[in-house]
């Protein structure tokens, strides 16, 4: 059987010929060359079939092209590896910073403000932790449907919240509600509104409220001192906030605490010279005086004579530092150091001291004040009545304007000016309290023909209550003037401004003012000798001249034997129809009530036991008479009853208006 011959299609294309060559065992080079030749012939055949002339046939080298492509790919791989090495090893700091800038943040660590205490360690100003709600405006803008819910939780209108967010649309931070109770903050956060967070802050709290407001001052919403000692010692009290580095996610939440950059340093505590008990007594008596006299304002200062420490300083009207939004800014100033008054007759002991110190007179020298007035240029110097012939002591006892003028006029102008200035008038007390005034004391070159005479009884110059208290403390301290201080332990250097013997004589003269026949019997304190001087001046009118409004003053020292306290009381514009307007009847009782309590609180021994025993015996005799001669227990005079400390003030009461 003849075998059938298989007929298969003949492979005539270039690829068939290449494969045929490969099957015959040609090498790779021969294979590449064959491919090139066959592709060239194929192009020539296509050109001839199309009857189109072609130019020079480009030589095609597949090997070179493959090498070129492989080399290019290799270079790309090397470049990618090099770039990765540069990003991850060589230049990684820059890109790490760029990444951190999008997630790593440094946030402040709040620190508490230093505590302020009185001389006995009782807290006067403390910082309590609170929460502040803040939001990310960009994040809140993505969820406008949650804004009504957030506005209701914050206690504001939706329109107000929307307006605030629109104003800070390009920001990532804005406060929504600051310094609120932590419980209130938790209620707001419980709504889980995206972009709303809280942070810890501190808020100042003043336990004594209105009683200490003018001395302590207050802080603003950022816990920085704005008035009073809070401002004066702000740098020490504020401390230094810390800083920590954290990682936040896209929603602003802290996901990791990375590092502590700087630890927080709490503020330093400050111990004042004030005694909160004496301060409360002063505030209470001033408030009572305003009610009973119908006055518009009042100030009082209590100094420790030996050290110059300020034990109390109060002003009315006052404000509640825990609720500043409810107060009038005019009530914020400390009138005792910023407001000046003409000292009136409280100037007469200094005038008499100037005459005694110059050797011009003695305490027993006679001064003729008849007929109760004397000419002074186009004006008259008058007394309330004709006192006739007085001793120099009597000039102070009866508060004679004519007598004071006659003592001052013979003194040289420069001597009299320098003597007054030596007591601190016309210059700042340098107590460290912000805004203190220097008062007004014109030099002799600016005096007119009537200036010295009017200055002798307290007109034509001005001083603050604290300056007057300094001057009286100097007379009680053997003639040594000490600048006042508010910081316990700080002792200013004393300066001798008056001979000790003259200072002692002045003290004995001023003692007669509070005794029978003097102008300030209402300032007397049972069991103690009191030295002082009243003052009554007319207020200067804004239109020129003096108005019909008065300022009532009393400046005193107690006890006379071993002086401990110097106090000045200034009551402005009392109603003449209520208790009059003289310093003895308006300001004298305030001095008596405050000093009566302060002497016993500080355990100051009485220096007038005879009077105390006489009053006690008289009270005992009166009681026996009322009981028919039968004893019914010991009698305790009113002046010896215990003075209660100020009651603690609840936080709720302070929010409603402070101490009452």
Q: Bridge-partner residues for 567, per DSSP?
A: 302, 556
CA 416/CA 353 separation, integer angstroms = 10
Classify residue 30 as exposed, middle or buried by CB count within 10 Å of its CB (0-12, 13-18, 19+). middle
Q: Which two tokens stand for residue 254?
A: 């802290």
Catalytic residue among 112, 345, 456, 585: 345
Residue 345 is a catalytic residue: yes
C-alpha closest to that of 569 among 351, 341, 320: 341
Phi, psi of 254 (to 5 degrees): -80, 120
The per-residue b/e assignment along 176-199, b for 16 or more CB within 10 angstroms, e otherwise, is bbebbeeebbeebeeeebebbbbe
Contacts of 553 (CB under 8 A, 6+ apart): 341, 343, 344, 345, 346, 468, 534, 535, 536, 537, 568, 569, 570, 571, 583, 587
CB atoms within 10 A of CB 607: 17
CA angle, residues 130, 131, 135, in degrees to nearest 5: 160
CA 611/CA 624 separation, integer angstroms = 20
Phi, psi of 60 (to 5 degrees): -110, 120
Classify residue 5 as exposed, middle or buried by CB count within 10 Å of its CB (0-12, 13-18, 19+). exposed
CA 66/CA 396 separation, integer angstroms = 123
> What positions carry a catalytic annotation?
345
């Amino acid at each position: 059987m003849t075998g059938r011959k298989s007929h298969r299609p003949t492979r005539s294309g270039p690829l068939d010929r290449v494969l045929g060559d490969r099957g015959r065992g040609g090498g790779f080079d021969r294979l590449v060359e064959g491919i090139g030749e066959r592709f060239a012939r194929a192009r020539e055949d296509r050109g001839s079939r199309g009857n189109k002339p072609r130019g020079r046939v480009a030589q095609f080298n597949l090997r070179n092209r493959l090498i070129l492509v492989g080399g290019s790919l290799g270079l790309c791989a090397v470049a990618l590896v090099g770039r990765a090495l540069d990003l991850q090893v060589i230049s990684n700091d820059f890109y790490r910073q760029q990444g951190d800038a999008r997630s790593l943040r440094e946030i402040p660590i709040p620190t508490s403000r230093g505590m302020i205490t009185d001389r006995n360690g009782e807290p006067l100003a403390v910082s309590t932790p609170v929460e502040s709600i803040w939001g990310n405006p960009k994040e809140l803008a993505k969820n406008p449907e949650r804004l009504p819910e957030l506005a209701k939780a914050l206690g504001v209108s939706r329109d107000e919240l929307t307006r605030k967010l629109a104003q800070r649309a390009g920001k990532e931070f804005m406060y929504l509600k600051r310094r609120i109770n932590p419980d209130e903050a938790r209620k707001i956060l419980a709504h889980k509104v995206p972009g709303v967070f809280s942070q810890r802050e501190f808020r100042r709290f003043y336990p004594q409220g209105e009683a200490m407001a003018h001395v302590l001052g207050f802080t603003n919403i950022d816990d920085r001192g704005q008035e009073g000692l809070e401002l004066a010692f702000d740098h020490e009290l504020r401390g230094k906030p810390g800083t920590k580095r954290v990682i936040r996610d896209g929603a602003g939440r802290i996901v990791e605490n990375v590092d502590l950059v700087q630890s927080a340093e709490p503020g330093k505590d400050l111990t004042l010279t004030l005694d909160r008990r004496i301060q409360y007594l002063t505030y209470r008596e001033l408030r009572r005086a305003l009610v009973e006299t119908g006055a518009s304002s009042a100030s009082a200062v209590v100094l420790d004579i030996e050290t110059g420490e300020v034990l109390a300083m109060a002003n009315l009207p006052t404000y509640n530092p825990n609720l500043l939004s409810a107060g009038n800014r005019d009530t914020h100033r400390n009138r005792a150091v910023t407001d000046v008054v003409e000292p009136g007759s409280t100037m007469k002991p200094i005038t008499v001291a100037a005459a005694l110190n110059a050797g011009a007179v003695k305490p027993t020298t006679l001064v003729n004040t008849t007929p109760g007035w004397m000419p002074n240029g186009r004006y008259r110097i008058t007394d309330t009545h004709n006192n006739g012939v007085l001793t120099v002591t009597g000039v102070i006892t009866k508060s004679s304007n004519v007598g004071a003028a006659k003592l001052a006029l013979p003194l040289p102008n420069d001597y009299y000016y320098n003597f007054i200035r030596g007591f601190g008038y016309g210059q700042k007390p340098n107590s460290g309290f912000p805004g203190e005034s220097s008062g007004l004391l014109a030099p002799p070159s600016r005096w007119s023909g009537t200036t010295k005479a009017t200055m002798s009884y307290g007109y034509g110059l001005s001083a603050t209550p604290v300056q007057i208290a300094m001057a009286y403390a100097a007379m009680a301290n053997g003639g040594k003037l000490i600048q006042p201080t508010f910081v316990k332990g700080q002792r200013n250097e004393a300066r001798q401004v008056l001979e000790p013997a003259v200072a002692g004589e002045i003290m004995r003269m001023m003692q007669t003012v509070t005794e029978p026949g003097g102008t300030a019997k209402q300032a007397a304190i049972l069991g103690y000798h009191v030295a002082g001087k009243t003052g009554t001046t007319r207020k200067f009118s804004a239109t020129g001249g003096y108005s019909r409004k008065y300022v009532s003053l009393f400046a005193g020292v107690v006890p006379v034997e071993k002086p401990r306290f110097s106090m000045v009381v200034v009551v402005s514009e009392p109603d003449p129809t209520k208790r009059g307007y003289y310093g003895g009847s308006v300001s004298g009782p305030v001095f008596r009530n405050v000093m009566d309590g302060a002497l016993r609180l500080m355990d100051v021994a009485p220096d007038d036991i005879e009077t105390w025993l006489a009053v006690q015996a008289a009270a005992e005799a009166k009681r026996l008479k009322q009981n028919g001669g039968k004893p019914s227990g010991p009698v305790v005079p009113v002046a010896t009853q215990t003075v209660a400390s100020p009651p603690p003030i609840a936080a709720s009461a302070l929010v409603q208006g402070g101490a009452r």
